[in-house]
Amino acid sequence: MITPIDVGYLGVMGAANAFLVRGPQGHVLVECGPAACFDTLVAGLRAHACAPTDIGDLLLTHIHLDHAGGAGHLAAQGARVHVHPFGKPHLVDPAKLIASSRRVHGGAYDRFYGDLLPVPQHSIVEARDGARITAGGLRWRALHTPGHAHHHVVWMLEHEAERHAFMGDLAGILVPESRHIAVPTPPPEFDPQAWRTSLGRVFTEGPSHLWLTHGGCVAKHPRDVEAFLHRALARLAETTEWLQDAVKRADAEVVPEGLARERTLAAEDGVNDRRMREFIDEAFVRMNLGGARRAFLPRD
Ligand SMILES: [Zn+2]
């Protein structure tokens, strides 16, 4: 019923997924990857006998461009786009979103994120906390789960005895071929307290399956889901602890320290050299420090 489509984010296979969900009454897509990867997404859909015009509903966990950049392209093919109300204005007018992503990603922006199309107002359905929808003939529920981003939602899909949680970035990034969870804390809305509370809500839901946009299906049994969520909580705690101290010091000192620290932890979790270069790099550390400064330092 659920097929991960690798969108080839950053030119890396295994970096980000969209999820094609076939229901009794149609096709649903959870996430869509960046606009720059739209052709890869379409090829992936076609490989599973699905055309972009077959997607009736696109469910977004949040509007960061690696999850939602292609939303305007899918809306142009007729998809309804479901997003938290806090994210809606930035899909309708993506100018601010583009500017903030350019600040975070610098020169890499054009290569990796591509040309966004605005999503028309009438194509957007607001997904408030607890919202229940039927899409593809399946029952879905939105959980507002701030922490990584203020407008983040987890999508719960209940099907027969299964309870699938589409986590977006809430349980971090699972580096392929390893057990390492990296925790992305980008500006401007990283909030560790809210993040912990949001993970607690997912625990309470008792999912049977956990789907990570960056990682795919990481658990297929409630016992494994619990174990994964505990590890994600622990990684969030240790990442936050280091960041809280690091933001008080100069970049020249903390960027190399943070990179060495992340790489040591990743190596302990079995990350190989290639994946280390692809996933745990200086840009990742700088992004996390940027989010932590907004969260922990007083602003003038
Ligand atoms: Zn994100």
CA angle 258, 297, 245 (to 5 degrees): 35
Specify whether the backbone of 43 is left (phi greater than 0), alpha (psi in -120 to 50) or beta.
alpha
Q: What's the distance, CA 8 to chain centroid?
A: 14
Distance from Cα 286 to the centre of ligand 1, integer Å: 15
What's the CA-to-centroid distance between 62 and ligand 1, angstroms?
7
> What share of the chain in percent tops pLDDT 70?
100
CA neighbor of 166 nearest in space, from 138, 141, 133, 130: 141
Q: 206: alpha, beta or left, given left = phi > 0 and alpha = psi -120 to 50?
A: left
Dist. CA 190 → ligand 1 center (Å): 10
Residues with Cβ within 8 Å of 135's Cβ and at least 6 positions away in sequence, in order, are 23, 26, 28, 56, 57, 59, 82
Residue 97 pLDDT exceeds 90: no
**Average pLDDT in the 182-209 region?**
97
Whether pLDDT at 198 is above 90: yes
Q: From the CA of 240, how far away is ligand 1's center (Å)?
A: 16
**pLDDT per position as a tens digit, 243-259:** 999 999 999 999 999 99
Q: What does the mean pLDDT of the chain come to? A: 96
Whether residue 58 is predicted with pLDDT greater than 70 in this model: the reply is: yes
pLDDT, average across residues 82-103: 93
pLDDT of amino acid 108: 78
Which ranges of the chain would DSSP assign to H, the alpha helix? 38-46, 65-68, 71-75, 88-92, 95-105, 109-113, 192-205, 222-246, 251-268, 273-279, 282-296
**pLDDT reading at 262 higher than 80:** yes
Enter the pTM of the model. 0.97
Indicate if the pLDDT at residue 103 is higher than 90.
Answer: no
Give 118-154 pLDDT, tens digit per residue: 999 999 999 999 999 999 999 999 999 999 999 999 9
Q: How far is the CA of 152 from the centre of ligand 1 (A)?
A: 8
Distance 61 CA to ligand 1 centre (A): 9
pLDDT band for 100, please (50, 70, 90 cuts). Answer: confident
CA of 56 to the centre of ligand 1 (A): 24
Looking at residue 101, its pLDDT comes to 84
Give the mean model confidence (pLDDT) for residues 265-279.
Answer: 97
pLDDT grade for 300, boundaries at 50, 70 and 90:
low
pLDDT bin (cut points 50, 70, 90) of residue 112 is: confident
pLDDT tens, residue by residue, 24-43: 999 999 999 999 999 999 99
Mean pLDDT to the nearest integer, 290-295: 96
CA distances from 202 to 50, 60, 135, 154 (A): 31, 17, 21, 8
Compute, in angstroms, the gap from residue 24 CA to the centroid of ligand 1.
30
The per-residue pLDDT for 171 is 98
Ligand 1 mean position, distance from CA 17 (Å): 13
| Residue 107 reports pLDDT greater than 80 | no
2-296 fold: Metallo-beta-lactamase; Chain A (3.60.15)
Separation of CA 101 and ligand 1 centre (Å): 11
What's the CA gap between 112 and 269, in Å, rounded? 27
Q: Rounded to the nearest 5°, which phi and psi values hold at 127?
A: -105, 90
How far is ligand 1, taken at its centre, from the CA of residue 171, in Å?
11
User: Over the range 160-189, which residues count as b (16 or more CB within 10 Å of their CB) and which as e?
Assistant: eeebbbbbbbbbbbbbbebebbbbbbbbeb
List the one residue out of 70, 86, 239 whose CA is nearest residue 153: 86
Q: What per-residue confidence (pLDDT) applies to 78?
A: 97
What type of residue is 87? G
Whole-number Å distance, alpha carbon 230 to ligand 1 midpoint, is: 20
